[in-house]
Amino acid sequence: MMSMLSRGQISQVTSQRAKSSGAAIMLALWALFLLSALIISWALDIDSRLSISGDSTRMLKAEAVACSGAEVALHPAVNPGSPNLSGELDNGATYQARLTGEGGRLNLNWLVAGENPDRLEILRRYLEIKGIDLNERETMVDSLLDWVEPNTGLHHLNAPPESDDYHPSHTLLTQIDELKKVAGWADFTSAPRWDDDFTLNSGGPVDLVWASRDVLLSLPGLTPEMVDRFLQLRQGPDGIDGTEDDMQFKGIDGVRAVLGLNEEQFKQLNGLISFKDPIFRVVSIGTAGKAKRTVQMVFRRVGVMPSVITWKEF
């Protein structure tokens, strides 16, 4: 016959069972906590992926609608200020395009090619208008001439010599940002919107229909009073180029009359100005929700088939 357990032994067994049960409960709770954390982490990851996917979709829509605005501007029947330059697609995305003449900008390669003194003077006057002092602008101009000079043996007086750290390309500029590498241009090119008046893609001579105030003042014989009166009439009541209320010039003589120049004064501008350069720039901004994308395109408009020169998305 089995011996009976004493009360102390029974109590000890009961205590051990209780401890085992408590440990099992703690392990179960800990496992449940870990599972909950994994589930929460998984849910957050899914939410993040959905959010990223949604943002990506909106960015793609914004880019697509920006391209649509640029394509509209290519049509030969669409002119600056046309209502077709803004629109909305079925998916709610919108585009806002602006069409301007590229010829109103200073074509840097045209200004320096051949070292034509009249063209170089336009660049010097422009830099002076921008607040560049005499010594600095002479360094800037001579350094740019060295940069595009194909003959490596020539060196302009105010430009630094070539060295291990400075290597002019000895060819015409291929993009405006190259100016950042040219000696003397660092401060100028660090300013916001420093390149607003520059191009490499126009026909060359300054298009009076699109030139900014600073570009117009850089031309010989044009005073601030002449330029301000001309811009007031050219831009119309809203004071903005490329809108429906702009003054429409029928020819270069109409521009001369508005500027208030006689024929003799106008001769100073021979070879330096143009009228309605066929090169245009369109900047189209596409919006889808909070996402925005911009397409910038420069193209030649001749006949019914435009020719794209540059295309940039950002």
| pLDDT score for 56 | 79
When pLDDT is averaged across residues 37-42 and rounded to a whole number, the result is: 49
Residue 114 has pLDDT above 60, yes or no: yes
Task: For the chain, give the percent of residues with pLDDT over 90.
Answer: 52
Task: For the chain, give the percent of residues with pLDDT over 70.
Answer: 83
| pLDDT score for 24 | 59
When pLDDT is averaged across residues 41-60 and rounded to a whole number, the result is: 61
Summarised one tens digit per residue, pLDDT across range 269-302 is 999 999 989 999 999 999 988 889 999 999 998 8
Summarised one tens digit per residue, pLDDT across range 53-96 is 667 788 888 888 888 888 888 888 888 989 999 988 877 889 99
pTM of the model as a whole:
0.80
* Mean pLDDT estimate for the chain: 85
Provide the pLDDT confidence category of residue 1 given band limits of 50, 70 and 90: very low
Residue 42 has pLDDT above 60, yes or no: no
Provide the pLDDT confidence category of residue 22 given band limits of 50, 70 and 90: low
> Quick one: CA dihedral 126, 127, 128, 131, positive or negative?
positive
| pLDDT score for 181 | 96
| pLDDT score for 31 | 55
3-state SS, the chain, equals CCCCCCHHHHHHHHHHHHHHHHHHHHHHHHHHHHHHHHHHHHHHHHHHHHHHHHHHHHHHHHHHHHHHHHHHHHCCCCCCCCHHHEEECCCCCEEEEEEEEHHHCEEHHHHHHHHCHHHHHHHHHHHHHCCCCHHHHHHHHHHHHHHHCCCCCCCCCCCCCCCCCCCCCCCCCCCHHHHHHCCCCHHHHCCCCCCCCEECCCCCCEECCCCCHHHHHCCCCCCHHHHHHHHHHHHCCCCCCCCCCCCCCCCHHHHHHHHCCCHHHHHHHCCCEECCCCEEEEEEEEEECCEEEEEEEEEECCCCCCEEEEEEEC
Question: Does residue 173 contact residue 109 with C-beta atoms inside 8 Å?
Answer: yes
* Alpha-carbon span 54 to 42, nearest angstrom: 18
Q: Please state whether beta strands 291-300 and 279-288 pair in parallel, antiparallel, or not at all (unpaired).
A: antiparallel
| pLDDT score for 2 | 42
Provide the pLDDT confidence category of residue 45 given band limits of 50, 70 and 90: low
Provide the pLDDT confidence category of residue 244 given band limits of 50, 70 and 90: confident
Residue 134 has pLDDT above 90, yes or no: yes
When pLDDT is averaged across residues 125-153 and rounded to a whole number, the result is: 94
| pLDDT score for 272 | 95
When pLDDT is averaged across residues 111-119 and rounded to a whole number, the result is: 95
Q: Residues with Cβ < 8 Å from 25, sequence gap 6 or more?
A: none
Task: Enumerate domains of the chain plus CATH numbers.
Answer: 57-105+197-204+277-314 (3.30.1300), 106-195 (1.10.40), 209-272 (no CATH)
| pLDDT score for 60 | 85
| pLDDT score for 262 | 85
